[in-house]
Amino acid sequence: MPRAQPQKHPFTDTTMQNETMKEPNAQDSSAVATNGQTQLRRLERIAAGEHLPSEIHPEIMDESAILEIKDFCLWYGAKQALFDVSMRIPAGKVTALIGPSGCGKSTLLRSVNRMNDLIDGVRTDGDMQLYDQSILAPDVDVIELRKMMGMVFQKPNPFPMSIFENVVYPLRIDGENNRAVLEEVCERSLRGAALWGEVKDRLHESGLSLSGGQQQRLCIARAIASEPEVLLLDEPCSALDPVSSGKVEDLISELAGQYTVLVVTHNMQQAARVSDYTAFMYLGHLIEYGKTEVIFSEPRLRETEDYTTGRFG
Amino acid sequence: MSIDTINDADSVSESPSPEPSSTPLKRRLVGGGQSLAARSEPMLWLHGGALVICVVMIIGLLLLVLYQGATTFWPVAITQVRTLDGDTVLGEVTRNDHYHLGYGDIGTFSEPVREEAVALLNPIFQKKLSKIEDRDGVAEFINRQSESVERSLQKLTSGLPQVVEAPAIQRNALTDGISQLLSAKQSSIETQVASDIKTALQADDTGAALFALWQSWQDAEAAWSSTPNPDAMLDAIQSDGDVLSSIYGNRFLTLQSFDVETAAHRRLFRTGNYELTNEHFTWVSDFATEPDSESDPEWAVLFERLTWGRFYGVPKELQVDGEATETDPQAVWAKFLELHPVVRDRWHQRRDLEISDTGQINHELEQARLDLRSIELANGKDSPEWEEANKQFLAEKEKLDKAFAEIRSQIQSLDDENDRYQMIVTTSTGQEHAIPLADIVRTYPANQLGFSERLGIYFSRWWEFLSDDPREANSEGGVFPAIWGTVVMTLLMSVVVVPFGVLAALYLREYAKAGLMVSIVRIAINNLAGVPSIVFGVFGLGFFCYLIGASIDQLFFEAKLPSPTFGTGGIMWAALTLALLTLPVVIVATEEALAAVPRSMREGSLACGATKWQTIRRIVLPRAMPGIMTGMILAMARGAGEVAPLMLVGAVKLAPELPMDGHVPFVHLERSFMHLGFHIYDLGFQSQNSEAAKPMVFTTTLLLIALIALMNLLAIGLRSRLKKKFAYSQF
């Protein structure tokens, strides 16, 4: 993997770059002290309400973006939760959002299919474009938008109905009642979610009778049933045991390429394993965004390294 | 925590242990030891005790209703006793109790009964006086009582008619005279009375002597009281000192006798035969019965009749066309069993003719009249159209009258045939009474029945109760129309209240933005649950019956006016009123159920691109359904047991005509109906024959409770099936 050339990147601030161009492996005491100082400075400045430009790696500009977030801000009532987030989400790739709790990664994810509309007092600024079309414009059909985005939540939330009905729910609400179509979609989605083998003989049992990991894969099957453009995964493994998590991770890797996946996770290893690109967020600010290997091995910013290695956060 | 450790703790805290080092640790381990609240046991006892009290009260009530209700229909033996008055009482013993018999009661008894009563009371009276004598002497006691004795004497005197009528001057002279005499001769009178009583108490036959004394004093007082004028009365006591002391003694004994009473056992006999005796029940005190006169006559037979209630007697002969065919009870009974079913069949035929065929003709006639009336309203009387219609109407009427006469003649011939058969029954007093066979609903020789026959009668009575119309001011027969009315009214109410309540709750919980307005609405709904139900009744009467109902009558049933169709109480208005009453229950329960649907499920659905309504319909409502069912169960239980508002909006004492029949439009929601709750009230408090109605009150209550329990069980079964479907197994 070639090392990124930070100087070429238009958004990169040179002063900051100088601070972070240190050898990451340097273990001498002075280097550590400087690191700590820098980190404190940058994060303290953000905590103090200052906005610092994000460190965005240039490779991302080479990818074709399906979703482009431009200077997106969001307020819950008077409290601002996202500050001028700008991201390009590459098509057909897995993009992970990482960061400590409360950093706004779930909020960003939920803004993509406008689930935040359901919360009273949410206000946004900036823009998000799917295929060069704004999704925040007032005339956008939210229902159609959501149909283009499958979403999977932190806690498995199968509906109180049969496995079959759970999977074909997106089609049912579209009024599709053709049994053959439904069955075909059900099988395809369940195979896609690697659940077909486990449930094919009991499609008419309640979705709630499955185990937690199976329930989460059922939710993924539901999310891909309507063949969405983007798959939004909000900490999909946080309520699952390691074995189930592993299955869901394998699934995410398989889904990459077929779908554009945006995944929020708290688990560094998971982000490193499944994603192509990783964005590190802190207190509503996008700090660094780049290829996953780079972010986890040689990030531009000390803060990112500290977070991914567990020194802070 | 085991009992042992608690005991350890107590012993530790009471007597310091020899090793002080282990004590604090031990105390800590068993939970403080000092504070009562630090141990959970006292609260456990409190909570458990509260539960036990609740359960005992509820179970006690249920057991009472169950026992009283279930035993009503059991056929008991028919007992015959002779009283000392010379009466013979024949009937079923329905109640046993004890009452206080005192000297005050014996005035109402006839001579032989009074003797028995006096014989019961005298020893007690005598014992009382002996006790007074033993304690502080009769004279001393009389002295202490002198004031009340004098007051009693004055009261007696001033109440006598000749004194009341006398001029005031004479009245005052008499009362003053008595007072003066008493104060002058107080001690001598008291001594006299006391010595008389003491003498009597020392006599060989104490009782007889005492009561001879009392008797003589009473006679003296009676003689004095009948003196024609106050002056003469004053003279009498002034001239003869014995008179005053006799009266004084009598007053004293009478006053003392008020405290003397004994518990007497009595039984309530259901004697029936109302047309002969003018009563259904007779109390018979044990002391007033002739010894060894009690028996269970072999051929005592109970008749349940269409009218006049029950009849008890011994069959004497069976008459056909006025001729006695059988005269021996056995043979009469055999013949009766042979004839009765045939006669009853004819009676059923006759009733069917009367109800359905005559009813049909009446209905057609009424329809024809209404048609004519609408033409009259539309075109005016004496218009050519009306003339034409009137002609038609008259022709129709003539035709119907002819059909009616034919049915009447059929009924008459059936009646004539039935009238040929009657049974002559001898009552306990020897009277003979003819009972037409057609009038007999059920009859049995109670004292010859085996257990299985009794069981048969028991269940046949239950069946009649459940399936038949009421008779005899509801105290006999069945309650089928009331069961029907209760069930249909409750179902109608549920059908109305559940959709409305659910829709309202959905708006409040899903669509309305939380704020002041929603809070006010919610508080108003909760308050609605606390409004007295009679207020809903008044509202229902005013709004539904008189406003909406009257408007409907004006628009659609003009021909029938002034007699109202919807403008009066009816099953639909009752159901709507109760729906209003139970609406808060449904709304609150539904809101709770909706709030309990996890947010994640709604989000999951919305994220799939479902609209809000699709989410509610497909996810939220099915998930909330068990909770909604709970609300419905509560509403049904509340509605089915409610009586007060129904009295105003359509429940009536007697409505054998069900709100559903064979005439178009088959369902008549405007009709008034019978309701079990109202039936209970009517039986218990409006019945002429309250003693006979009392067991029916319990039986009807039992039935109502069973009905509500059944409806609830059905709903609960449905709910548990739904719940199973949504059982959440996370891992």
In B335-465, which ranges are E strands?
A: 421-426, 432-436, 440-445
A119/B contact by beta carbon, under 8 A? no
Half-sphere exposure of A30 (CA within 13 A, CB side): 2
Taking contacts as CB-CB distances below 8 angstroms, the residues of chain B near A157 are 598, 600-601, 603-604
In angstroms, how far is the first alpha carbon of chain A from the final one?
Answer: 27
Q: Is A173 in contact with B609 (Cβ distance < 8 A)?
A: yes
A146/B contact by beta carbon, under 8 A? yes
A153/B contact by beta carbon, under 8 A? yes
Per the DSSP assignment, residues forming a β-bridge with A133 are A130
Asked if residue B641 lies in contact with residue B708, where contact means CB atoms within 8 angstroms, the answer is yes
What pLDDT is stored for residue A38 in this prediction?
56
- B 45-104 near A (Cβ less than 8 A): none
A162 Cα to chain B: minimum distance (Å): 9
Q: Is B604 in contact with A206 (Cβ distance < 8 A)?
A: no
Taking contacts as CB-CB distances below 8 angstroms, the residues of chain B near A151 are 604, 607-608
B721/A contact by beta carbon, under 8 A? no
Q: Is A226 in contact with B614 (Cβ distance < 8 A)?
A: no
User: Does position A13 have pLDDT exceeding 50, yes or no?
Assistant: no
Q: Sign of the C-alpha dihedral, residues B711, B714, B715, B716?
A: positive
- Chain B residue with CA closest to A204: the answer is B725
In three-state secondary structure terms, A279 is strand
Structural domains in chain A plus CATH codes:
6-308 (3.40.50.300)
What pLDDT is stored for residue B537 in this prediction?
92
What tokens appear for B553 in the block?
């009558």
**CA dist., res. A57 & res. A59, Å (int):** 6
Residue B696: what residue type? Answer: M
By percentage, how much of chain A surpasses pLDDT 70? 86
- If you compute the radius of gyration of chain A from its CA atoms, what whole number of angstroms results? 20
A196/B contact by beta carbon, under 8 A? no
In this structure, the strands spanning B432-436 and B421-426 are antiparallel
Phi/psi at B366 (nearest 5 deg)? -65, -40
Task: For tokens 């409505």, name the residue.
Answer: B655
B608/A contact by beta carbon, under 8 A? yes
Measure CB to CB from residue B608 to each of A170, A206, A212 and give the nearest one: A170
Q: Is A146 in contact with B727 (Cβ distance < 8 A)?
A: no
- If you compute the radius of gyration of chain B from its CA atoms, what whole number of angstroms results? 39
**CA dist., res. A53 & res. A16, Å (int):** 10
Q: Is B601 in contact with A159 (Cβ distance < 8 A)?
A: yes
Q: Could you read off the pLDDT of A274-287 as tens digits, one per residue?
A: 888 888 888 888 88
Q: Sign of the C-alpha dihedral, residues B628, B631, B636, B639?
A: negative
In angstroms, how far is the first alpha carbon of chain B from the final one?
Answer: 32
What tokens appear for B446 in the block?
């109670």
Q: Is B604 in contact with A157 (Cβ distance < 8 A)?
A: yes
User: Does position A231 have pLDDT exceeding 80, yes or no?
Assistant: yes
How large is the ipTM? 0.81
Measure CB to CB from residue A157 to each of B513, B601, B614 and give the nearest one: B601
The strand order across the sheet containing B78-82 reads: B78-82, B88-102, B261-270, B281-285
Half-sphere exposure of A127 (CA within 13 A, CB side): 11
Q: Is B606 in contact with A146 (Cβ distance < 8 A)?
A: yes
Q: Is B608 in contact with A169 (Cβ distance < 8 A)?
A: yes
List alpha helices for A95-178, DSSP H: 105-112, 142-147, 163-172
In B198-320, which ranges are E strands?
A: 261-270, 281-285, 301-305, 310-320
**CA dist., res. B228 & res. B215, Å (int):** 22
Task: For tokens 């400075």, name the residue.
Answer: A41
Measure CB to CB from residue A159 to each of B604, B609, B729 and give the nearest one: B604
Q: What is the mean pLDDT of residues A138-145?
A: 85
What pLDDT is stored for residue B23 in this prediction?
58
In B29-115, which ranges are E strands?
A: 78-82, 88-102
B731/A contact by beta carbon, under 8 A? yes
Measure CB to CB from residue A208 to each of B604, B622, B727 and give the nearest one: B727
Q: Is B610 in contact with A173 (Cβ distance < 8 A)?
A: yes
Measure CB to CB from residue A208 to each of B606, B614, B728 and give the nearest one: B728
Q: Is B607 in contact with A118 (Cβ distance < 8 A)?
A: no
**CA dist., res. B608 & res. B620, Å (int):** 15
Taking contacts as CB-CB distances below 8 angstroms, the residues of chain B near A158 are 604
A57/B contact by beta carbon, under 8 A? no
Where chain B has pLDDT below 50, the residues are 1-18, 729-731
Measure CB to CB from residue B605 to each of A149, A159, A223 and give the nearest one: A159
What pLDDT is stored for residue B28 in this prediction?
55
What pLDDT is stored for residue B38 in this prediction?
66
In this structure, the strands spanning A285-291 and B476-477 are unpaired
**CA dist., res. B717 & res. B703, Å (int):** 21
Measure CB to CB from residue A173 to each of B603, B608, B729 and give the nearest one: B608
Number of alpha helices (DSSP H) and beta strands (DSSP E) in chain B: 26, 12
Q: Is B618 in contact with A159 (Cβ distance < 8 A)?
A: yes
- A 211-270 near B (Cβ less than 8 A): 211-212, 215, 219, 222-223, 226, 232
Mutate to test the interface with A, among B511, B518, B608 (most CBs of A within 10 A): B608
Task: For tokens 């990991």, name the residue.
Answer: A213
Asked if residue A210 lies in contact with residue A155, where contact means CB atoms within 8 angstroms, the answer is no
Mutate to test the interface with B, among A140, A157, A174 (most CBs of B within 10 A): A157
Higher-confidence residue of A217 and B4: namely A217
- B 610-669 near A (Cβ less than 8 A): 610-611, 614, 618-619, 622-623
A113/B contact by beta carbon, under 8 A? yes
- Chain A residue with CA closest to B619: the answer is A159
Taking contacts as CB-CB distances below 8 angstroms, the residues of chain B near A216 are none
What pLDDT is stored for residue B541 in this prediction?
92
Residue B154 makes CB contacts below 8 A (sequence gap 6+) with B175, B178, B179
